[in-house]
Chain A
Amino acid sequence: MALQTILQHLVNGISLGSLYALLAIGYTMVYGILRLINFAHGDIFMLGTYIAFYSMTAFFLPWWISFLIAIIVTCIFGIVLERAAYRPLRDSPRISVMISAIGASFLIENLAIVVFGGRPKAFPIPTIFSKILNIGGVSIVSVSIFIPIITAIALFILNYLVNNTKIGMAMRAVSKDYEAARLMGINVNNIISFTFGTGSILAAIGGVMWGLKYPQLIPLMGLMPGLKCFIAAVVGGIGNIRGAVLGGFILGLGEILIVAFSPTLSGYRDAFAFVLLIVILLVKPSGLLGQNTTEKV
């Protein structure tokens, strides 16, 4: 394989990986606080893309206003979802919460089919994102340069938020011990809402970026990316923001390289993520960057 092709594959892998990473951060934040797989995260992501699409095509708003609207609406939606589907079950067994999450995911998907229709829609791409650059024989679409930059910025901001602000401290407290945090005077419900809002904003940004890179919208578009990004979060160590980014890159690069170097295995590509998940869970259940925890009685 020529050096150029290998470089091309690496570029493609990094570009896909940074998209996964962006979504995985949202997953990992919610999980870190609530200990809940937010199955609906992928569907929130889908909603973000559709909102941006409709504000561009139905209301003819410029793309940057549309993206902003998508982020705000999706954020509100995430908070509402948490209140409606997860808050009433705060003291219930975890199985119930998980079933509720699965139910929420299916409900959003099917509502989207009813409201948006099942046929795919074409996401309009502003020219700034669709320029094709050729650097030394390696082709890159400009959106693929934006995505890693945005992921890096998101990582930086969140790191600061969690480690250096008061609300971040409260988030860490809730994540460590929910009851103790409440006793210390932290309004747990507000913190959880805030986390959900942030997670949904990340999902919306990820959704819009996804739409710019793969401009085809269907109501089930969040399903696979959602599952894969959860896997990325687990691989990196769930609850750990840097781990999620690492997991996202491993998954993105892994998927591209497995297809690139072994065409016969390309049919098994979707299985790669799940195999990786199971291997990690068996070898190091806390993830690559996660801390080991022991079960308390």
Chain B
Amino acid sequence: MKRKIALLLVFVLMFATFAAGCAVEKVDNEEKQESSNSQDSDVIKIGVFEPLTGPNAAGGALEKEGIELAKELYPEVLGKKIEVVYVDNKSDKVEAANAATKLIDQEKVSVIIGSWGSGFSISAGEVIKKSERKVPAIGTSCTNPLVTKNNDYYFRVAFVDPFQGKVMANYAYKEVGAKKVAFIIEKTNDYAVGLAKFFEDTYKELTGDENAVVYRAYYQTGDQDFTAQLGNIKESGAEAIFAPGNFTESALIMKQAKELGIELPILGGDTWETPEVIEIAGEAAEGVVFSTFFDVNAELTDTTTEFLEAYKAKYNKEPAAVTALAFDAYLLALDAIKRANSTDPEAIRDALEATKDFPGAAGVVNFDENGDAVKAAVIKTIKDGKFTYLTTVEPN
């Protein structure tokens, strides 16, 4: 009996394997047919890879909203219909690479959009760079400089961590008036480590004090007790705390800081703009300050107004910053196709590189030599349990 059950399972597994093989083959055939008549077809394919499942699924869903909305508003370019192909990268690097391969080789898309999370974008970027048919990609909310560095085919509509670190350092020095800061950094998170470094560089310059960062503590993703680090920060003489990291750990840091009687302002990055921060940290989240891409109160361009109205009409809620970025990525892709007057990926890439003063919903986009957007940042705080707009910081 037991043996039978096990045997049955093995058969099911083998069948599944076999079925998958069939499925892949089937797609292949269809795709061959499609590619053979793609010359005269009137569909332009745009590939999107986002974390639609897995731990980062919420971020991916927000960006998908933006792309869907943009497609509703602008379904055509060059007189051809646009088809958006969504591939799930499952919040996983290996998957992201597989997803990119699929978009390039099987779906034969003209341009790729994605993704939430720098790690996924980097691993997809490697695939794009190494594949024979190179397709340009537009990053949405990935902020790690490595995404676009040394990759002529990757652009992005978001600003990068160095700029974000600079903005927060300026805020800490000029607005908070802090002469000394303490760091508590998520050591296992590339984003947090980078942000801390760029903050420190600018901050030292501003204060002219080599020892302006009086305390530096680290923690690991998944840690839940930060009392030791915070206890030392309390007596370190710091006038503000910079705590770049994922929102889950950051919320606990806010809470424990309050429990230890620390009254210092806590600063962070764009990851904090999630409702969980307010839910978990509760009252302790009041007054924390972070930088992000976009806010409804900081109307930046005409596209912003259009985006806001359309979004509210469709979803009946306030849009998130990353949704606006995804919206922009789609519009920029369309704009590039129009300017290239072609669906050839190489031509689109050249058009993207030549982008100038593109008016997006989340600000005007100009690319620097790496293909990173140079644009304004928005600073927000948490007040009465709500994210509240503080100010806008222009580049330079």
Query: Direct contact between A and B in the complex (CB less than 8 angstroms)?
Result: yes
A259 within 8 A of partner (CB): yes
**Which residues from A are CB-within-8-Å of B282?**
122
B56 and chain A: residue at smallest CB distance: A118
Q: Are A266's CB and B219's CB within 8 A?
A: yes
Q: Which of A134, A256, A264 meets B228, CB within 8 Å?
A: A256
Please name all residues of chain A whose beta carbon is closer than 8 Å to the beta carbon of B276 when the two chains form the complex: 119-120, 122
Asked if residues A218 and B248 are in contact (CB atoms below 8 Å), the reply is yes
Given contacts A122-B280, A216-B248, A259-B229, contact A269 B57 (CB under 8 A): no
- The distance in angstroms between the C-alpha atoms of A259 and B216, with both chains bound, is 11
B279 proximity list for chain A (CB < 8 A)? 121-122
B224 in contact with A12 (CB, 8 Å):
no
Chain A CB within 10 Å, residue with most, of B58, B215, B227, B255:
B227
Distance between Cα atoms of A270 and B222 in the complex (Å): 10
> B45 on the interface (CB 8 Å rule)?
no
Candidates B57, B232, B255, B260; contact of A260 at CB < 8 Å: B232
Determine if A255 and B228 form an interchain contact, defined as CB atoms under 8 angstroms apart. yes
Which residues from 194 to 225 on chain B have a C-beta closer than 8 Å to any C-beta of chain A?
A: 215-220, 222-225
CA distance A266 to B185 in the complex (A): 10
Query: Does B235 make an interface contact (CB < 8 A)?
Result: yes
By the criterion of a CB under 8 Å from any partner CB, how many residues of chain B are at the interface?
Answer: 34
**Any A CB within 8 A of the CB of B134:** no
B55 is an interface residue with CB less than 8 A from chain A: yes
In the assembled complex, B21 has its CB within 8 A of some CB on chain A: no
Of A12, A134, A255, most B-chain CB atoms within 10 Å: A12
| Residue from B224, B229, B234, B248 in contact with A266 in the complex, judged by beta carbons closer than 8 Å | B229
| Docked-complex contact A120 and B227, CB < 8 angstroms | no
The listed residue (B220, B227, B228) touching A270 by CB distance below 8 A is: B220
Q: Is B48 an interface residue (CB 8 A)?
A: no
Count, chain A residues at interface, CB 8 A:
40
| B54 lies within 8 A of A9 (CB) | no
Given contacts A120-B280, A255-B228, contact A8 B217 (CB under 8 A): no
A27-49 contact mask (Cβ, 8 Å, vs B): 1 or 0: 00000000000000000000000
**Chain A's interface: helix, strand, loop or mixed, by majority?**
helix
Our pick among B55, B223, B231 for the contact of A269 (Cβ within 8 Å) is: B223
Q: Does A139 have its Cβ within 8 Å of any Cβ on chain B?
A: yes
What is the bound-complex CA distance between A215 and B225, given in angstroms?
11
Interface residues of A in 267-286 (CB under 8 A from B): 267, 269-270
Question: Are B220 and A12 touching (Cβ within 8 A)?
Answer: no
B234, closest chain A residue (CB): A5
Contacts of A263 in B (CB 8 A): 215-218, 229, 232
Q: Does B362 contact A (CB under 8 A)?
A: no
Contact partner of B252 (CB less than 8 A), chosen from A121, A132, A214, A220, is: A214
Residue B259, interface by CB 8 Å:
yes
Q: Which of B225, B228, B229, B252 has the most CB of A within 10 A?
A: B228
For residue B282, which residue of chain A has the nearest CB? A122
Given contacts A120-B276, A215-B280, A269-B219, contact A5 B231 (CB under 8 A): yes
Interface residue? A58 (CB, 8 A): no
Decide if A259 touches B252 in the complex (CB within 8 Å). no
Q: A172 to nearest B CB, angstroms? A: 34
User: Which of the residues A5, A210, A255 comes within 8 Å of B232, measured between beta carbons?
Assistant: A5
| Chain B 218-260 interface 0/1 with A at a Cβ cutoff of 8 Å (1 = within) | 1110111101110110110000000000001001100100111
Residues of A197-228 whose CB lies within 8 A of B? 210, 214-216, 218, 220-221, 223-224
- A223 to B220 Cα, complex, angstroms: 14
Which residue of B55, B228, B258, B261 contacts A259 across the interface (Cβ within 8 Å)? Answer: B228
Give the residues from 93 to 143 in chain A that come closer than 8 angstroms, CB to CB, to chain B: 118-122, 132, 134, 139, 141
The reply to whether the CB of B339 lies closer than 8 angstroms to some CB of chain A is: no
Q: Does B383 belong to the interface (CB within 8 Å)?
A: no
In the bound complex, what is the Cα–Cα distance between A40 and B231 (angstroms)?
33
Determine the distance from Cα of A4 to Cα of B261 in the docked complex, in whole angstroms: 13
Closest A residue to B258 by CB, please name it. A132
Is B93 in contact with chain A by the CB < 8 A criterion? no
User: How far apart are the CA atoms of A259 and B220 in the complex, in Å?
Assistant: 12
Q: Is A1 an interface residue (CB 8 A)?
A: yes
C-alpha gap A5/B237 in the complex (Å): 13
Q: How far is the CB of B142 from chain A (nearest CB, A)?
A: 20
B residues near A16, Cβ cutoff 8 Å: 225, 227
Residues of chain A within 8 A (CB-CB) of B216 are 263-264
CA distance A218 to B58 in the complex (A): 15
**B187: CB under 8 A from chain A?**
yes
A267 lies within 8 A of B231 (CB):
no
A134→B231 contact, CB < 8 A: no
Q: How far is the CA of A216 from the CA of B187 in the complex (A)?
A: 20
> Which A residues between 231 and 290 are near B, CB-CB below 8 angstroms?
255-260, 263-264, 266-267, 269-270
Chain A residues near B224 (CB, 8 Å)? 210, 214, 216, 221
Q: Is the CB of B248 within 8 A of A120?
A: yes
Residue on B with the closest CB to A117?
B57
Check: A2 CB closer than 8 A to any chain B CB. Answer: yes
Interface residues, chain A, CB within 8 Å of chain B? 1-2, 4-5, 8-9, 12-13, 15-16, 118-122, 132, 134, 139, 141, 210, 214-216, 218, 220-221, 223-224, 255-260, 263-264, 266-267, 269-270
- B residues bordering A, Cβ < 8 Å? 54-55, 57-58, 187, 215-220, 222-225, 227-229, 231-232, 234-235, 248, 251-252, 255, 258-261, 276, 279-280, 282
| 3 tightest A-B CB contacts, nearest first | A259-B228, A122-B279, A12-B227
The 8 sampled A-B contact pairs (Cβ below 8 Å) are: A13-B228, A119-B57, A122-B276, A255-B228, A256-B228, A260-B232, A267-B220, A269-B220
Q: In the complex, given contacts A119-B57, A218-B248, A260-B232, what are 13 additional A-B residue pairs having Cβ atoms less than 8 angstroms apart?
A: A1-B232, A5-B232, A5-B235, A8-B260, A9-B228, A132-B259, A141-B259, A214-B225, A215-B255, A215-B280, A216-B252, A224-B223, A259-B232
